[in-house]
Structure 1
């Protein structure tokens, strides 16, 4: 995909996307993969970070109209799911996979109806650093499959961050990429950014006409 200076690239998700962004500053991109992507683009496109610490998919759905559609993006990237798994094990809060899949599907459907935005869906990931975290895969694996099904059903470009990080862990070790198994280190964020850029095939101006942003009645 070729982006132009007029494109608005919006990233939405949980703490992996948030990365300590200044929520009082709409231009703040945080310290992670979103900033790295913005810095790697060959021109100054508008990039917006709407990650929010602790979000599960229902939190994302509750703020979708304001934090996504209301900003009229031409490209929307979603990364969600690890907290839906994590909360099962640390707080006993169950996020049934069918409900998770339905919620993610609703926000993507709403975006398709309201916008002509290009959709990117990043897979949730886990690099276990303890035997306890190894158990999380029983919940996360079917959730990842749900993400893949939903992305395919909506024609979204999939960014296999789970596979990218797993491959990098074979070289650097899991703890070097995500010390707690969930939150990436700077190296982990670089892997995420590179995976997104590869999936996007980000190019310079002069490609096809840009996609329109969201339209409200």
Structure 2
């Protein structure tokens, strides 16, 4: 069966708390307890012949600029062959809870710098997971004005860099037809076990590792 992943791939998950999800910072092999751990476990179970290795270096609270600051140590130095990146919701969230706005242009500049440096230094393929929101209140609905342009940035960069795009925001919007937003998220951003499962399954399916 043909997949995006190949034998011996070293897969790095990068981003914010959605990726971090309780990983043990003292254990470089820790994958946390969220969708990353689910995706890695199922990938290994479904295709043991590929001998895949997984790393999680997500850091809770990170914006794209903060990921950029630690990119050398937490991405390039690990020499992954695949980078899965999910970052952007904190660029929006900090505007509304702390008054720290990041323009769409600044977000794109940081995001593009991550991709450029990895492509220049490594023989790497990208999986870009767009940031997403499942609003639980009218106040969160207002975040769309800030978040939607960032989602468009990720979609455009995926095409430009030949990356696999996981349209997570659209996926979760469709999922709320089957069940309420509260079924998938605890606060509009962080995921329930069901939400983590849905995102992991979507990642696997997008990379050609369906159940």
Could you say which TM-score interval applies, normalised by the shorter chain? over 0.9
Counterparts of 1:91-106 in structure 2 under 5 Å? 91-106=98-113
Q: CA offsets per residue over residues 76-107 of structure 1, 9 Å max, x none? A: 00000000000000000010001101110111
Q: Which residue of 1 aligns with 2:71?
A: 64
Distance 1:104 1:30 in 2: 24
TM-aligned CA deviation for residue 165 of structure 1: 1.2
Matched, 1:9 2:11: yes
Q: Per the alignment, do residues 161 and 95 of structure 1 end up closer, same or farther by CA in structure 2, a change over 3 Å counting?
A: same
Q: Which residue of 2 aligns with 1:194?
A: 201
What is the SS of the residue equivalent to 1:30? coil
Q: Which residue of 2 aligns with 1:139?
A: 146
Q: Which residue of 1 aligns with 2:134?
A: 127
Could you list the runs of 4 or more consecutive aligned residues of structure 1 that deviate by over 6 angstroms after TM superposition? Answer: none
TM-aligned CA deviation for residue 202 of structure 1: 3.1
What is the SS of the residue equivalent to 2:206? helix
Q: Is the 8 A contact 2:61 2:90 kept in 1?
A: yes
List alignment gaps of at least 5 residues for structure 2: none
TM-aligned CA deviation for residue 39 of structure 1: 1.1
Matched, 1:89 2:96: yes
TM-aligned CA deviation for residue 116 of structure 1: 1.2
Q: Which residue of 1 aligns with 2:24?
A: 22
List alignment gaps of at least 5 residues for structure 1: 204-217
TM-aligned CA deviation for residue 25 of structure 1: 0.4
Distance 1:76 1:107 in 2: 10
Q: Is the 8 A contact 1:12 1:49 kept in 2?
A: yes
The correspondence for 2:118, drawn from 111, 122, 126, is: 111
Q: CA offsets per residue over residues 120-152 of structure 1, 9 Å max, x none? A: 100000000011001000000011111111221
The correspondence for 2:166, drawn from 144, 151, 159, is: 159
TM-aligned CA deviation for residue 167 of structure 1: 1.4
Larger RCO (CA within 8 A; separation ≥ 6): 1
Q: Is the 8 A contact 1:127 1:178 kept in 2?
A: yes
